Chain A
Amino acid sequence: MQAVKLSLKKANKIPIEADTVSPDNFAGKTKEEIEAILAWYGNGQCPLGDFFTVEVEGSDSTENTKIVFDGDVSRVKRIGQGMSAGEIEINGNVDMHCGFGMKGGKITINGDADSWLGCEMKGGEIILNGNASYYVGSGYRGESCGMRGGKITVNGNAKDYLGEHMCGGEILVTGNVGLLPAISNNGGTIVIEGNATMPASEMKNGTVIIKGEVSDMLPSYKEDGTEEVEGVTYRKFVGDVNASGKGVLLVK
């Protein structure tokens, strides 16, 4: 087991692009080696040691590496980008693109996450114990496929465009979501335990379950009986007819 603890020395205003912070990059490295890893800061690159106090215990493979951010990193972006295994724990708020394109492993955030949490994720798990911002598990601008696999759990609320262009995987939100969750999605499962507005527009495929209130339900869905999921009966809608979709939208 290798444990790496990063504590921000001083709150930064210019964001740090920490796409190099992942178990894949840290595994088997010493404190000095990790401190020397570069991250973009403004228009130049700086070693991580400039920003963080680094503590390392043990040395192990990627799967057995755990990175812990001690405290708020609300101006540190792209933590865990593309990670394939291991674990990251963030004890505070985190900036945009956390877990971008991750393939495996686990990220736990004990705080709020900014936009694009887990976008284009292919595998692994993200647990957010706080609120999420826009575009959770979505695709990059213009891309036709967002999240393809893995699971994102938001124990809180999420803002607009949750799971946009999602093609696979699973998103669970225990709170409410904003406008247009599951827009243009083409696979995967989204479960929203709270309320949602205009869900699943242009959905081609996939399943969306909304346990709370739905505002402005889109008229482009065909009602198709009922369906029972885990002992609860939902009204079943199929669509989006506008996109010749075969998606399933289950609402109370």
Chain B
Amino acid sequence: MSEILIKNANLCDPIQGINCENMDICIRDGKIVESVSENAEIIDAGGRLTMAGGFDGHTHSAGKINVGRFINPNDARRKLVPGLSGPEKRTEKTRAQVGYNTPNTYAIGYRYAKLGYTTICEAAIPMLAARHTHEEFKEIPILDKMGLSLFGSNWQVMEYIRDKEPEKLAAYVAWGLKASRGYGVKIVNAGGGEAWGWGKNVNGLYDPVPNFDVTPAEILMGLVEANEKLQLPHSVHVHCNNLGKPGNYETTIETMKMFEKVKPTVDRQSLHVTHVQFNAYAGTSWRDFETGAPMVSDYLNSANHLTFDLGQVIFGPAVTMTADGPVEYANSRLLHEKWSNQDIELEDASGVVPLSYSPKSFINAVQWAIGLELALLVEDPWKIMFTTDSPNGGSFVNYPEAFTYLMSAKKREQVISGFGQMALDRMVLPGIDRELSFYELAIMTRSMQSKMYSRPEKGNLKVGSDADIAIYDIIPGDIDPSVEHEKVKQAFSGAAYTLKDGKVVVKDGQIEATPMGRTYWVNAKVPADIDSAMQKDTDIKFKKYYTVSKSNYMVEDSYLPNPVEISTEGVF
């Protein structure tokens, strides 16, 4: 039995409604408890800001990021953020680290932990390549992990939707999650991955997918029905159609509206829209491109059925990686950049393109502003997850920098002062003076994720929750984040303490221990007769089309050294 008493913590725990109050936190065997014995080890927080461990619910940290590593060997030497990037030698406690946007697996674990993050969700697992994702998960230390499996351009999915077989579709989704050991349903540019196989794209919600006679709207509605039938802990996680195109905010709002009628079967949102920054563009071309954030935020303020994340842009080099194949092709042509393109057989497409965001480019400046506008114009922080869609908008190691944008209008002014007039004319950010509090920041970086992913033991420090805790070197009462944004950035860049399951993993910004985290996956129960009918259909797919056999497709248990199986009962 191990006990820790954190004394004098200035706790900010929105799920319990605790807003920076001094209190003690008791930990026994990795969980928060009411009280501990006198033998407990004592950590004196000294009135410093204390939160539950951070939870990055949308990050590309395992799988496709490896292609990013292949095509950007130069990224290994980038040292843009001191202490959180570039080559670092092996130490007694840590393995060698390299990279900035595409760090090696160990560096991903260490660096998230240094930021006080303890859980991550890989944003896209192509099921065919799920083994690879789990192989990388195995080598990411400290963090708890989960991943979202891609279903949006899957042949079997589209056929079941076309043939109106919702039960078999639900059975297939359940099987797909099991086969890939995934946690939820990810839909990337619904139907677009398949269209890309023919060198095309879908241009909106009602543009039919070649050869399948279904539209993106039908795919979305079919999959959300399956998602709710299976009572999955997370809602569908949607990367909207038309990403990265001027004028796409209309498609985004249309997609959001479509889900108003969905009744979630679990107490959570019915839709999560991801990296909305890339989907909130107005204008008709890159010439008259401007922010669409005010329109999207207006809708988000009026809607209560969904959550979204930002996809905030960070100036400097980034690597875009997505299952949205046609977008990556467009990026590579537009920017004359390196391009990797992959076909995931019957399932999806994927691409990787490095790029660099510059404040001198009016387009990049407006993109930067859109992310912040969304965060500041949407009133309810419980709808917002903070992300940079790492490393698409920029590496996660820049989160502390980005927090200061949210918390300090002065800091924003500093950045905005470097923009040209054309950029300023296309954004509304300069007129926004809202500054987020530590409480609101805590909601966006850990608490809302607890609800969004139905992980009640994460993102809060209630009795019974996991003892994943971050203590930052700030005394909330003594600091004005609006002015002292440099101090805020510094404190968030290296936690004074990060505890994972009650074990000190980071102390004074340095790695202390590297325990192995868990991998969460969802096992949704489906009636046996529906399951076997579905299996017959997939057998044909494997026999006729896949390059692997069905038995070799499944991720075996040995790939998950520390699995947590979440069982759900389907409603059929």
Contacts and interface: CB of A to CB of B under 8 A. Distances in A.
Nearest to A242: B336
Interface residues of A, number: 9
Contacts of B72: 142
B336 A140 contact: no
A6 to B, nearest CB: 27
B74 A142 contact: yes
Interface in B43-102: 71-75, 77
A142 B77 CA distance: 11
A139 B336 CA distance: 18
Contacts of B73: 140-142
Contacts of A142: 71-75
Interface string A113-144: 00000000000000000000000000111111
B67 to A, nearest CB: 13
Nearest to A140: B74
B75 A244 contact: no
Nearest to A245: B336
If over half of B's interface residues share one DSSP class (helix, strand or loop), that class is named, otherwise mixed; here it is helix
A243 interface: yes
Contact of A243 (B71, B77, B336): B336
A244 B336 contact: yes
Contacts, number: 16
A116 to B, nearest CB: 14
Contacts of B75: 142
Nearest to A243: B336
Interface string B160-200: 00000000000000000000000000000000000000000
Interface string A184-212: 00000000000000000000100000000
A141 B77 CA distance: 11
A139 B77 CA distance: 13
Contacts of B74: 139-144
Contacts of A139: 74
The listed residue with most B CB atoms (<10 A of its CB), out of A139, A141, A243, is A141
Nearest to A204: B336
A139 to B, nearest CB: 8
Interface string A7-34: 0000000000000000000000000000
B99 to A, nearest CB: 12
Interface in A129-178: 139-144
B357 to A, nearest CB: 15
Contacts of A244: 336
The listed residue with most B CB atoms (<10 A of its CB), out of A144, A204, A243, is A144
A143 B71 CA distance: 10
B359 to A, nearest CB: 19
The listed residue with most A CB atoms (<10 A of its CB), out of B72, B73, B75, B336, is B336
Nearest to B317: A144
A140 B87 CA distance: 15
A243 B338 CA distance: 12
A10 to B, nearest CB: 29
B410 to A, nearest CB: 34
Contacts of B71: 142
The listed residue with most B CB atoms (<10 A of its CB), out of A139, A140, A243, A244, is A140
Contacts of B77: 140
Contacts of B336: 204, 243-244
Interface in B347-397: none
B562 to A, nearest CB: 32
Given A142-B74, A244-B336, 7 more contacts: A140-B77, A141-B73, A141-B74, A142-B71, A142-B72, A142-B75, A204-B336
User: What are the nearest 6 A-B pairs in CB distance?
Assistant: A142-B74, A142-B73, A141-B73, A143-B74, A142-B72, A140-B74
Interface of B: 71-75, 77, 336
16 contacts: A139-B74, A140-B73, A140-B74, A140-B77, A141-B73, A141-B74, A142-B71, A142-B72, A142-B73, A142-B74, A142-B75, A143-B74, A144-B74, A204-B336, A243-B336, A244-B336
